[in-house]
Structure 1
Amino acid sequence: MRWCSCQSCCPRSPYFKALLLIDLDNFKTLNETLGHTAGDRLLQQMAVRLTAGAAPDAMVARFGGDEFAILLERIPDEREQACAHAKHEAERISHLLDQPVQLDGESLQLGASIGITVFSDDARDAGELLRRADMAMYRAKAAGRGTVRFFDPSLQAAATARLALESDLRAGLRDHAFFLHYQPQVERDGRIAGVEALVRWRHPRRGMVSPAEFIPLAEEIGLALPLGHWVLDCACRQLAAWSRQAETRHLELAVNVSARQLHHPAFVAQVLGCLASSGADPRKLKLEITEGTLLDDVEDAIEKINALKAHGLTFAIDDFGTGYSSLAYLSRLPLDMLKIDRSFVLDLTTNPNDAVIARTIIALGANLGLKVLAEGVETAAQRDFLFENGCQAYQGYLCARPLAPHALARLLGAT
């Protein structure tokens, strides 16, 4: 994930921390007006409020005068996420300090300007970090009291853009800005036997947003469950509609399921509810789950897969070979299909290692009685290699990009 080119401010590292330097905006005026004794009591109240309101694992300190600092240690390990998290926490603290304070029967309001520096876990120069946070804090005061600023302006802009995208993602789900496209899955005889449902988002200003950008974001901010449920419900309704048309009634429909969905206590009931309300045939619905999702709780996954298979659903492991595969769990799971990840397909005709991996997955699937489908097939040479080595189906640009329902119907009518 790309973030910024400012290596001095936000170096490339797997671990990040953030230092927030806080200056109370109106303290000097109030201190001079009310007197130093009242000012000290005011600082004590602000210290109590900060200590109680900061994140549980944060370290809070007073630096003298009306300046406080908060060290955030357990923040996300992606640069973009770390900066967004730090900005969100700073804005929360700013709102907390902006609330009125009661002192000797009077209601007083201070507010705060907050500077942020995000740094790698191995940073050693505390003085330099404080200097950066101090510079960011003065940038915040110059921008207007009650504001938050990063040491580096590019971080400020990028973190603001990310938080705006979070808000837009929530609004998009509420305002029905998402829709599904369907990528054909092709059998050895050239017949399109199924499709995979892929969610798309049309942003009101940015246009189409890449799923690689918004799906991980949905996971991070707790929208994986509602978005996943919407995708499943929409896919089931499309499956039911296809069953009433001669050219599409044979199609199987594959839907990706996230770890949060699979391990949610109501997952089985939600899937069955979508099928019942849409009237879709459960035997035409395939749920695709990644290896990492299964390994989160194998016993829970087995129980839920079995419960849904009893109703006719089928299951596939998506992106097989990219996770921490274990033959022990693979032999126990009641699966129907393995999907070879596109990363092994791209160079399989030129890279001997990828060719070996593809052959191994195909042989593994055959020995376990599982169908094998390859993703990301773009050339006839790739397709021919896969079919010659026993792969039963493929999907990819060689056949078609993900299509809207009407375009898929046209393709099926032409084949």
Structure 2
Amino acid sequence: MAVVDHEGAVVRANDALGALLGTEPAALRRRPAADLVDLASDSRTWHSYRQVLDNRRARFRCTRRLKHADGRTVWAEVTVAPVPGSGDILLSVTDISDRRELQARLRHLQMHDSVTLLPNRALFFERLASALESASGGMGAFDPATRPYGDAGAGGGAGGAADSRADGVVDGGARRRGDGRTGRIGLCYLDLDGFKAVNDTLGHRTGDRLLAAVASRLTECAEHDEHDDRTGGGGHLVARLGGDEFAVLVEDSTGTEQLAGLARRILAALQRPFDLAGQRLSMSASIGVVERAAEGTTPTGLMQAADTTLYWAKADGKARWTLFDPERNAHRMTRQALSSTLRPAVEREEFVLQYQPLVGMADGVVRGVEALVRWNHPQFGTLAPNRFVGIAEEDGSIVQLGRWVLRTACRQARRWQLDHPGVAPLFVSVNVAVRQVWDSDLVADVAGILAETGLAPDLLQLELTESAVMGSAGRPLQALQALSNMGVRIAIDDFGTGYSNLAYLSRLPVSVLKLDGSFVRGFRYDEGVHPSPADETIVEALVQLAHRLGLTVTAECVETSGQAARLQRIGCDTGQGWLFSRPVAPERIAEMIVALDTSRVTPGA
């Protein structure tokens, strides 16, 4: 202890204070107390200390790091308070070095993985937050072990800033660069391919040995990268985030080239066999690599990007590294947004149908229309089926959506029939996903909708893809047979792109083949492009076969009059494509029906 006057000078000091500072108590007299225990190193601490000296504050406490005369560091808790009735100030200094050392040990145990001895998830995120703040120009984080002790609101926080500066950075081993910072941060996020099999077959003890060996190789890779002159020497942190997941954080990244080089080195290091107590194991890893400006980046955002990129690496085949791609991520985010809003969109009536005419190749008369669904999305605008039908099939909402399309199309076909009684009614063709056959009672749905709308069964055509009907057996085959018995026509869409096993045509209740547009495109006479004789031969053979089986043939993607003429010559029954009309609103189809008395649709309408 020491007694201090109101000017801040030591009046007298006891032997314990002299021993703590490594000097004789008499040598401390008349010396400024603030110099002895480092109270003037920052303005907040100095201000609080002066308030006690001036009788404007009752007490002040902080934690300081002092230098002993022999050069060693002493952590001390400093308390400054008036001595009642004397007018003097009492300076009390307590050695808390042992307490600090214990706290540091406990913190190390708390913040490090017991198997690999690497920093754990908690320390990784603390370091990541600190790195982002520091690289963005902030003050940086401080080690919680240096938090000052004492009375809340009594100036204890004043010592925190000084403690932080003295300690440097969290986990003390990482370097903070002053000049030449890049303001960027990089992350290699990885997990081991097939690690669960190691635990399941060889046991957790071998698994733990493998994790420790992996940690050692990751650390070597990170140290090599840190000391590589080409990388700029930014600080690296290798951490185990849990299970077989690891991360290598690169502060002051110099760009994606550095991160890619580090990822390649890690892959090569982990693909070398591991010798573990007589067990020789081969291992690989998948790595997601993210590199970006620190400013505006959050720990959560960086880890989400890394997690997504790691998933891509796994999905692309494992044993590889993948760099974060903003465009690919935007597509994923859009897909997720569409998936989450698809079911409610049906109830909100965000879907509409357009109709594309199916035209007789011999006379140009509209025979029917194909119903094509569009999604008027409030955020992404009008979406074609290829943007959302696959998602609907994956999550099962295709059943609800398909039922709405079927009902809407049948209702519209019946309305045209009633509005134009003097014209032969058009049939309507509706696409059906194979999941609708499996996950719903399609036969009951069709029967109910036909009864509800009053549309005759022979005016409804259901289209299924070739791959969907190939090998149909059990419920799908029974459903198709029941629909055919009802009078509904069954069409195979995109014929020629699937298995092309013609045997199934004789046993399935199919009425129509729709030739894939790839065949028809081979008929075009474009500049520098000549039609394919092979395509014409194949189409002609398919048409003849279909006719022998009692089927009609529709050609898709008819775009030119030359294609139409050749398709007509080889006997194709109907055509569909932009030569005749793009998909249009129901009102435009009504206009075509009115014009049917001319028995021809003007090409290019």
Q: 1:259 aligned to 2:407?
A: no
Q: 1:200 aligned to 2:374?
A: yes
After TM superposition, list the pairs within 5 Å mapping 1:206-217 onto structure 2.
Answer: 206-217=380-391
Question: Which of 1 and 2 has greater Rg?
Answer: 2
Which of 377, 381, 395 aligns to 2:576? It is 395
What secondary structure sits across from 2:388 in the alignment? helix
For the residues of structure 2 that align with 1:171 and 1:70, how far apart are their CA atoms?
A: 39
Which of 531, 543, 548 aligns to 1:362? It is 543
For the residues of structure 1 that align with 2:555 and 2:482, how far apart are their CA atoms?
A: 27
After TM superposition, list the pairs within 5 Å mapping 1:243-258 onto structure 2.
Answer: 243-246=417-420, 250-258=425-433
- The equivalent residue for 1:148 is 304
After TM superposition, list the pairs within 5 Å mapping 1:77-96 onto structure 2.
Answer: none
After TM superposition, list the pairs within 5 Å mapping 1:103-252 onto structure 2.
Answer: 125=268, 132-133=287-288, 143-145=298-300, 147-150=303-306, 151-154=323-326, 155-187=328-360, 188-246=362-420, 250-252=425-427
Q: CA deviation at 1:400?
A: 0.8
Q: 1:184 to 1:126 in 2, by over 3 A?
A: farther
Which residue identity does 2:534 align to in structure 1?
Answer: N
Residue correspondences, number? 324
What secondary structure sits across from 2:354 in the alignment? strand
For the residues of structure 1 that align with 2:545 and 2:413, how far apart are their CA atoms?
A: 31
Paired residues of 1:283 and 1:314 also in contact (CA < 8 A): yes
Paired residues of 2:113 and 2:240 also in contact (CA < 8 A): no
Q: CA deviation at 1:35?
A: 9.1
For the residues of structure 1 that align with 2:589 and 2:397, how far apart are their CA atoms?
A: 29
Which of 485, 488, 498 aligns to 1:313? It is 488
Which residue identity does 1:228 align to in structure 2?
Answer: G
Q: CA deviation at 1:200?
A: 1.0
For the residues of structure 1 that align with 2:337 and 2:548, how far apart are their CA atoms?
A: 49
Q: CA deviation at 1:135?
A: 5.1
Q: CA deviation at 1:181?
A: 0.8
Q: CA deviation at 1:412?
A: 2.0
For the residues of structure 2 that align with 1:281 and 1:126, how far apart are their CA atoms?
A: 69
Deviations 1:237-273 (A, max 9, x none): 2122223121666111111111111233512112212
Q: CA deviation at 1:66?
A: 5.3
Q: 1:383 aligned to 2:564?
A: yes
Paired residues of 2:267 and 2:285 also in contact (CA < 8 A): no
Deviations 1:124-178 (A, max 9, x none): 6475996954757998x95134851135152444432332232343443332111
Paired residues of 2:512 and 2:552 also in contact (CA < 8 A): yes
Q: CA deviation at 1:217?
A: 2.5
Deviations 1:361-406 (A, max 9, x none): 1111111111111111111111111111111111111111111111
Q: CA deviation at 1:409?
A: 0.6
For the residues of structure 2 that align with 1:70 and 1:277, how far apart are their CA atoms?
A: 58
Which moves more between the two structures, 388-397 or 257-266?
Answer: 257-266
Q: 1:200 to 1:135 in 2, by over 3 A?
A: closer
Q: CA deviation at 1:299?
A: 4.4
For the residues of structure 1 that align with 2:299 and 2:241, how far apart are their CA atoms?
A: 17
Q: 1:281 aligned to 2:444?
A: no
Q: CA deviation at 1:68?
A: 2.0
After TM superposition, list the pairs within 5 Å mapping 1:19-58 onto structure 2.
Answer: 36=109
Q: 1:291 aligned to 2:447?
A: no
Paired residues of 1:348 and 1:358 also in contact (CA < 8 A): no
Q: 1:412 to 1:69 in 2, by over 3 A?
A: farther
For structure 1, the 5+ residue unaligned runs are 1-29, 48-56, 72-116, 118-122
What secondary structure sits across from 1:194 in the alignment? strand
Q: 1:405 aligned to 2:586?
A: yes
For the residues of structure 1 that align with 2:549 and 2:405, how far apart are their CA atoms?
A: 30
Paired residues of 2:519 and 2:539 also in contact (CA < 8 A): yes
For the residues of structure 1 that align with 2:358 and 2:297, how far apart are their CA atoms?
A: 58
Q: CA deviation at 1:298?
A: 3.5
What secondary structure sits across from 1:149 in the alignment? helix
Deviations 1:174-205 (A, max 9, x none): 32111111111111222111111111111213
Q: 1:32 to 1:158 in 2, by over 3 A?
A: farther
Deviations 1:18-59 (A, max 9, x none): xxxxxxxxxxxx998899489989xxxx99xxxxxxxxx985
For the residues of structure 1 that align with 2:346 and 2:520, how far apart are their CA atoms?
A: 34
Which of 527, 531, 534 aligns to 1:353? It is 534
Q: CA deviation at 1:294?
A: 0.6
Give aligned-pair identity as a percent.
37
- The equivalent residue for 2:32 is none
For the residues of structure 2 that align with 1:174 and 1:180, how far apart are their CA atoms?
A: 15
Paired residues of 1:58 and 1:70 also in contact (CA < 8 A): no
Paired residues of 2:460 and 2:488 also in contact (CA < 8 A): yes
Which residue identity does 1:196 align to in structure 2?
Answer: E
What secondary structure sits across from 1:148 in the alignment? helix
Q: 1:327 aligned to 2:502?
A: yes
Q: Which has the higher contact order (CA 8 A, sep 6+)?
A: 1
